[in-house]
Structure 1
């Protein structure tokens, strides 16, 4: 991988409450010039659900800005107008760098820190509130363009304008585009699931997901993750 990937924006967020709900979120992240990156994420960056967001395997979130143009064309207003860098709560904003360019376990130098790709994002129902569309999480999942997370191998200061310098690629046959296709499209390909379950650099929860599919021959239920927190809200509010 030879391309130079510049961090055009560095973002972190404090907790806010979605309008008309009791649900807290850290998705509304603001630009900062610099922040210290530790094993749990950027200092000062908050999450509304610490059981499913943040932590060592999801310390840093990256969403490809390249996807926003397509989303603006596909979504109704005013949700389409939200589709600009930062809309998905990403910490890192870049251009020309997508799920096809990144492989499971890729290691990058970022400022003073060293980070490793741990897993793709698994969209949840909070996106339905963020965009005011009852199935926004499902739409993003179906697109197979969900963004991804890093774990932190070496803490350090990160600045806007730093570059992602590629250092290692232990799994060149596993770009995130392939992994996302296996997770949400060709979901029961036995040989691929065997490989996925044995990728040491993949987050433990996704290795466990692959193993469970192999054991049961079934795909896990996505309904709770995608919709549960918004089913009882009539007419989702636009933010």
Structure 2
């Protein structure tokens, strides 16, 4: 696994269903290294601290390979890296093979895979199409949240080196399917 793009978002206010909503889902590639801190990516907007950021969800990674599936469903969308709200666009991140607790060295950091990303209406806002939320739920291409065990900088081109494997734990895809079942999606 290799970082293709590092992405950061600014605070953005939008109108949705007659209300002002603040979001950080509009993330775009940056050319400089980004700093992964204990509870967040430095300089990245997290508007909803209840569902994003914090120790277990400090960094969100998403697979570039998954883009192809959604490009077919949304051919008129500009698939800029970061469109799924990810901090790290990774060449081949496979949720069915990454277990909760797996640990990776990447750049100056050490990251632990923690939980899946559950989509909300803000993904629909980013795509300008609410259908994406259900389409996202109906896959196991959810992306991976990481806990930062060692802070530091990462940049495009940095490779993930697995330093601990936890095959006894559920995969990120298993967690996602369980959450989808729980929610009745």
Q: How does 1:1-239 map to 2 (within 5 A)?
A: 5-18=1-14, 22-32=20-30, 33-75=32-74, 78=76, 81-172=77-168, 174-184=170-180, 187=181, 219-220=182-183
TM-score w.r.t. the length of structure 1 is 0.70
Deviations 1:18-49 (A, max 9, x none): 35651111111222221221101211011121
Q: How many residues align?
A: 182
Structure with greater helix share of residues:
1
Contact map agreement 1:71 1:83 (CA 8 A) in 2: no
Contact map agreement 2:114 2:147 (CA 8 A) in 1: yes
State the Cα distance separating 1:111 from its structure 2 match.
Answer: 1.3
Deviations 1:127-178 (A, max 9, x none): 1211122332222111121111001111112222211110001235522223
Give 3-state SS (helix, strand or coil) of 1:82's partner: coil
Contact map agreement 1:68 1:84 (CA 8 A) in 2: no
> 1:126–1:140: structure 2 CA closer, same or farther, 3 Å change rule?
same
Structure with greater strand share of residues:
2
State the Cα distance separating 1:82 from its structure 2 match.
Answer: 3.2
Deviations 1:74-121 (A, max 9, x none): 23x53xx23342111111112122212311111011111111001000
TM-score w.r.t. the length of structure 2 is 0.88
Deviations 1:169-198 (A, max 9, x none): 1235522223323332xx4xxxxxxxxxxx
> 1:107–1:126: structure 2 CA closer, same or farther, 3 Å change rule?
same
CA RMSD for the aligned pairs? 2.0
Q: Matches of 1:67 and 1:136 in 2, distance apart? A: 13
Question: What stretches of structure 1 of length at least 5 have no aligned partner?
Answer: 188-218, 223-239
- Structure number with bigger Rg: 1
